[in-house]
């Protein structure tokens, strides 16, 4: 999609088609001849892994719909029918349920990679924002998908999350009634969530196409953050990136398969094997692991409305990131201070995830009672989550804007080829490029 096309139709049929719908040319230019920076590391393979995840979710999901029944009286039993009576239904359903977790593992690695290497900076702002839109759609899809088995955690999770919108002033109650299709979470809610759960993945696929389009206009970022300057900096997508992505996908599938076949319920919650019962509330309602950091931010704020705003604000920060980071240097490889803050940020996110899974009042260190300030018990998960949430927001709103102006960065290489060729990993000595080859 960028640069001139080098595709040459070889057969009569290809020439005929190319003059009418140059789709083979599009594929060739995008996935064969497309120049990729030669120094991409394994963190760059997660884009391909994510498209694999999306395809797996779509295929397994479409098959599940052939057997699933979205009525409140039948949903739970129909999922068990899939597990017990449908040929390989257990495999399809476990792939779909664990596939969601795998999708989020991959998307978090993909996002952190973008954050570390500055992949959101000019000219890739739109590319980054499209990625954020995909992430938002993924969260909506995953949430509604978790409601569909109509277990206890499905039902009460749906109650908690839909009630969040009730915190909005004036319009809140009307919005929740509209979301529910009634005055409580019930069959109409399940039906519309099912409908939307089927719709949103295709919207994700649509935005993924835009995401890849934008990627192919601006080109891939790379670990140095320096734009490719000459032919020595790039390699054709096929076979170089294809084989590397293929290897990474296969390794990722081993992890995926391990969960599906040997610990399929490890990432779920036992309560969801109890049919939904509006009259019995589980003692401890927790969302799926991939929502836990945001759930912790929500609960860190004592006021419900402010908590909801903080939670959405945490996602809004991602959208604004291209303009929050003021640094001229793209890759954190050459930003020693920013790098430290990046790793603290990752730890803060993990801590938030941990806090989201715990009861807010439980002590972080059991048996320790000395950390009291006034009537606040600082040795509790709610205070730990406040601390981590503070860092989360400070990272985006203070550290990145200020650091970009004050940080002393390391020298950035002139081109991709120069540092890449200076430590040849697997090349015999005589094969290293001559100096005149360097960018």
Partner 1 sequence: MLRKLSVIAAVAGLLTAGVAGPALASGHPLPAKEVKWSFDGPFGKFDQAQLQRGYKVYREVCSACHAMSLVSFRNLGDKGGPFYDEKYSAKHGKTSNDNPYVKAIAKDYEVADIDSETGDPIKRPATPADRFVSPFPNEAAARASNGGALPPDMSLLAKAREEGPRHIYSIVTGYKDAPAGLKIGPGQHYNPYMPGDLTSYWSGDHKHVPPGGFIAMAPPLKAGQVTFDDGTPSTLDQQAKDVSAFLMWAAEPKMDERKQTGFAVILYLLLFSGLLYVSYRKVWKNESH
Interacting residues with partner 1 (CB under 8 A): 38-43, 77, 80, 83-84, 90-91, 94, 235, 239-240, 243-244, 246-247, 250-251, 253-254, 257-258, 260-262, 264-265, 270-271, 273-274, 283, 343, 346-347, 350, 354, 358, 362-366, 420-421, 424-427, 431-433
CA 438 remoteness from chain centre: 36
Taking the least distance from each CB to partner 1, the nearer of 199 and 243 is 243
3-state helix, strand, coil in the chain (%, to 5): 65, 5, 30
- Residue 197 CA to residue 17 CA, distance in Å, equals 36
Strands 35-37 and 234-236: antiparallel
Helices (H), 165-275: 172-180, 187-218, 242-262
Classified as helix, coil or strand, 436 is helix
Taking the least distance from each CB to partner 1, the nearer of 176 and 272 is 272
Residue 344: both structure tokens together:
């603290």
Q: Nearest approach, Cβ of 196 to partner 1 (angstroms)?
A: 27
H or E stretch covering 373? strand 372-373
Q: Nearest approach, Cβ of 415 to partner 1 (angstroms)?
A: 13
Ramachandran angles phi, psi of 37, nearest 5°: -55, 140
Residue with tokens 């406040």: 386
Q: Nearest approach, Cβ of 67 to partner 1 (angstroms)?
A: 15
Classified as helix, coil or strand, 362 is coil
Q: Nearest approach, Cβ of 39 to partner 1 (angstroms)?
A: 5
- DSSP characters over 156-179: HHHHHHHHHGGGSTTTHHHHHHHH
H or E stretch covering 306? helix 304-324
Query: Strand (E) positions, 247-369?
Result: none
- Residue 115 CA to residue 343 CA, distance in Å, equals 11
Strands 376-377 and 372-373: antiparallel
- Residue 115 CA to residue 200 CA, distance in Å, equals 26
As beta bridge partners, residue 373 has 376
CA 185 remoteness from chain centre: 28
Residue 374: both structure tokens together:
């006034």
Taking the least distance from each CB to partner 1, the nearer of 137 and 384 is 384
Taking the least distance from each CB to partner 1, the nearer of 12 and 366 is 366
Taking the least distance from each CB to partner 1, the nearer of 14 and 80 is 80
Q: Nearest approach, Cβ of 254 to partner 1 (angstroms)?
A: 5
Classified as helix, coil or strand, 33 is coil
Taking the least distance from each CB to partner 1, the nearer of 248 and 310 is 248
Q: Name the DSSP class of 409.
A: P
Q: Nearest approach, Cβ of 422 to partner 1 (angstroms)?
A: 9
- Residue 13 CA to residue 433 CA, distance in Å, equals 41
Q: Nearest approach, Cβ of 35 to partner 1 (angstroms)?
A: 13
Residue 429: both structure tokens together:
């000595």
Classified as helix, coil or strand, 150 is coil
Q: What angle do CA 217, 207, 143 make, to 5 degrees?
A: 145
Q: Nearest approach, Cβ of 9 to partner 1 (angstroms)?
A: 26
Please count the residues of the chain. Answer: 439
């Amino acid at each position: 999609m960028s640069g001139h096309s080098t595709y040459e139709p070889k057969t009569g049929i290809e020439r005929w088609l190319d003059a009418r719908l140059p789709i083979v040319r599009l594929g060739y230019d995008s996935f064969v001849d497309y120049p990729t920076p030669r120094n991409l590391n394994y963190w760059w393979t997660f884009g391909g892994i994510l498209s694999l995840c999306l395809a797996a979710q779509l295929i397994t999901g479409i098959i599940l719909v052939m057997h699933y029944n979205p009525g409140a009286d039948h949903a739970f039993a129909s999922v068990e029918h899939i597990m017990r009576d449908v040929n390989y239904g257990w495999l399809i359903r476990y792939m779909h349920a664990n596939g969601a977790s795998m999708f989020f593992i991959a998307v978090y690695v993909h996002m952190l990679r973008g954050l570390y290497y500055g992949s959101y900076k000019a000219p890739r702002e739109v590319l980054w924002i499209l990625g954020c839109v995909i992430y938002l759609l993924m969260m909506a899809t995953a949430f509604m998908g978790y409601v569909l088995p109509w277990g206890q955690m499905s039902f009460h999770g749906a109650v908690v999350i839909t009630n969040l919108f009730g915190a909005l002033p004036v319009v809140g109650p009307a919005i929740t009634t509209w979301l529910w299709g009634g005055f409580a979470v019930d069959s109409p809610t399940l039906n519309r969530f099912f409908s939307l759960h089927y719709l949103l993945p295709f919207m994700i696929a649509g935005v993924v196409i835009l995401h890849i389009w934008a990627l192919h206009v601006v080109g891939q970022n790379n670990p140095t953050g320096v734009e490719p300057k000459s032919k020595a900096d790039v390699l054709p997508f096929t076979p170089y990136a294809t084989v590397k992505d293929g290897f990474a996908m296969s390794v990722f599938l081993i992890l995926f398969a391990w969960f599906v076949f040997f610990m399929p319920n490890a990432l779920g919650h036992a309560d969801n094997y109890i049919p939904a019962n509006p009259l019995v509330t589980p003692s401890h309602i927790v969302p799926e692991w991939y929502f836990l950091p945001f759930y912790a931010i929500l609960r860190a704020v004592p006021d419900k409305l402010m908590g909801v705003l903080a939670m959405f604000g945490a996602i809004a920060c991602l959208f604004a990131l291209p303009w929050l980071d003021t640094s001229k240097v793209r890759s954190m490889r050459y930003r020693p201070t920013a790098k430290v803050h990046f790793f603290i940020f990752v730890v803060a996110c993990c801590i938030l995830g941990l806090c989201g899974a715990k009861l807010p009042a439980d002590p972080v260190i059991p048996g320790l009672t000395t950390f009291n300030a006034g009537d606040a018990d600082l040795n509790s998960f709610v205070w730990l989550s406040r601390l981590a949430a503070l860092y989360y927001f400070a990272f985006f709103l203070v550290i990145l804007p200020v650091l970009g102006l004050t940080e002393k960065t390391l020298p950035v290489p002139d081109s991709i080829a120069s540092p890449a060729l200076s430590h040849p990993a697997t090349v015999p000595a005589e094969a290293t490029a001559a100096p005149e080859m360097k960018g």
